[in-house]
Structure 1
Amino acid sequence: MSLAREGALGRTWIIARAQSSGRGRHGRHWVSPPGNLYASLLLIDEVPMRHAPQLGFVAGIALAKALRKCAAHEYLRLKWPNDILFDGAKLAGILLESAELPDGRFACVIGFGVNCAAAPRDLPYRATALAEIGAPSRSPEDVLLHLSDAIVGALARFAGGADFETIRAEWLSLAAGLGAPIKVDTAKESFSGIFRTIDSSGRLIVDTTNSTRIIEAGDVWLAPQTGSFA
């Protein structure tokens, strides 16, 4: 975001070979060794502020498209709100940050982290890497090449926030756990239910035994192979 405050133009890519202070959602530390892709895309006045959260879904379908080309495999899924899974294991993640600049411009930074050479261990969930799944194209450069093309197309379809319905439909076609049991952890509670859909704002819609819940922020856990969390 510092580049934006210094006057950088929109659609600028910032690439790192490794990160000593990698950051995930909610400020969590993220292991960032060399050999993986760590890229951020700066957008300036790309969308009105109210549509900024939807850019995460735009980025998700673009990254999924890029990784399908690299992996030569269709079994990639999107997990709400910002993960890319291969056979249930995390392959990549997205982080969104936005701010109004002192000069009145609105900046968004979309951060992409892709496990190309190696995946972090000792996590509370499974993770994998392009090298581990035998992807024909597995270098950070290959991924970035496909991603930079895919994001241009996805942003065009989004039309500055005017056509989230197209993005929503694409995202749902790749959604992990749709129609199945999930567990949701929010800042205040944990509960289980059926992942029904995402709404016109990108919020998670979950049917529980007693009600339909609308979630703006949280962590989603897919049901194990038993089909329940019991």
Structure 2
Amino acid sequence: MGQLCCFGTSPLSASWPLYRFEEIDSTNTEAKRRAAEGSFNNQWIVASTQTAGRGRQDRAWSSPVGNIFTTALFAEPGGISVALRVPFAAALAVVDTVLSVAPAAPVRVKWPNDVRVDHQKVSGILVETGGAGDRLWIAAGTGINVAYAPDNVGQGATSLNRLSAQVLDLKEVLDFYHSAFEARLAQAKVTFDGVRKDWLKYAEGRNEKVSVRVGDTYEEGVFEDLEQDGALRLRLPDGSARIIRAGEVNLIGRA
């Protein structure tokens, strides 16, 4: 495996307990079961394969053995304002992981949290919440293509093995991602500013014309910026701005 990098000034080190399954329906579903039972202290849930993996908008997520399927389950007393930062923190943790094994990869993040290299998807992130007040919990699920690039994800896909031109140690990659996520989450809990600035360095399509699907409609404009709550600022052809908090971005003329 390539040399691991550090986040900030300290070496990465994961600290949360880990619960491992050879096969499970979905790591996020298991996290929600645990949360319903009141068990949502910091923890990782990992599976070798999933029988009912899910992505955003309830899309099926292919789960072959050899890829990463993991969910971070934790309480968030900071409330929804902090919860909104988590998808961006998770995406940056994936970026950190990609660059740790393929430093030259032109990795980008398609708003809000699809990590891609040359417009090919390498990861998917699904963040779900529940509870309220000081019992608000977050389940941040991440799938990373390590050994295999599934061909049924609705877009081109790639894998870390392909990007690094080597057969990576799955456990080492998983440990690195867990460490990176914990570090990025700590960054996000303090303020969104640092996460936002780092995310924008990798933003796919910024200052380009994009099409954003919002519900059943499409809005075209220039992806101008990321708002302080993580919303996308779209500059419309008439010069006005539209702030979009939920949607799916596509680059005009590209996948």
Give matches, 1:1-230, under 5 Å.
Answer: 1-45=32-76, 47-100=78-131, 105-136=135-166, 138-158=168-188, 160=189, 162-210=190-238, 211-224=240-253
Q: TM-score, normalised by structure 1?
A: 0.89
Contact 1:137 1:143 in 2 (8 A): no
Partner amino acid for 1:194?
A: V
Could you say what secondary structure the match of 1:168 adopts? helix
CA distance in 2, matches of 1:215, 1:171: 17
CA distance in 2, matches of 1:49, 1:216: 14
Q: Give the CA deviation at 1:141.
A: 1.5
Q: Give the CA deviation at 1:50.
A: 2.9
Q: Give the CA deviation at 1:122.
A: 4.1
Could you say what secondary structure the match of 1:16 adopts? strand
> Can you give the 5+ residue segments of structure 1 that lack an aligned partner in the other structure?
none
Contact 2:61 2:153 in 1 (8 A): no
RMSD of aligned Cα (Å): 2.0
Q: String of CA shifts for 1:54-113, please: whole Å, max 9, x gaps.
A: 111111111211221022334111110111111111010111000006x95111000000
Task: Give the 3 Å change call, closer, same or farther, for CA 224–133 of structure 1 in structure 2.
Answer: farther
CA distance in 1, matches of 2:36, 2:153: 35
CA distance in 2, matches of 1:10, 1:132: 35
Task: Give the 3 Å change call, closer, same or farther, for CA 46–115 of structure 1 in structure 2.
Answer: farther
> Can you give the 5+ residue segments of structure 2 that lack an aligned partner in the other structure?
1-31
Identity %: 31
Q: Give the CA deviation at 1:130.
A: 1.5
Q: Give the CA deviation at 1:9.
A: 4.4
Could you say what secondary structure the match of 1:152 adopts? helix
Q: String of CA shifts for 1:139-174, please: whole Å, max 9, x gaps.
A: 43222111122122212222x2x4111111111011
Aligned residue pair count: 223
Contact 2:62 2:153 in 1 (8 A): no
CA distance in 2, matches of 1:208, 1:119: 35
Partner amino acid for 1:147?
A: Y
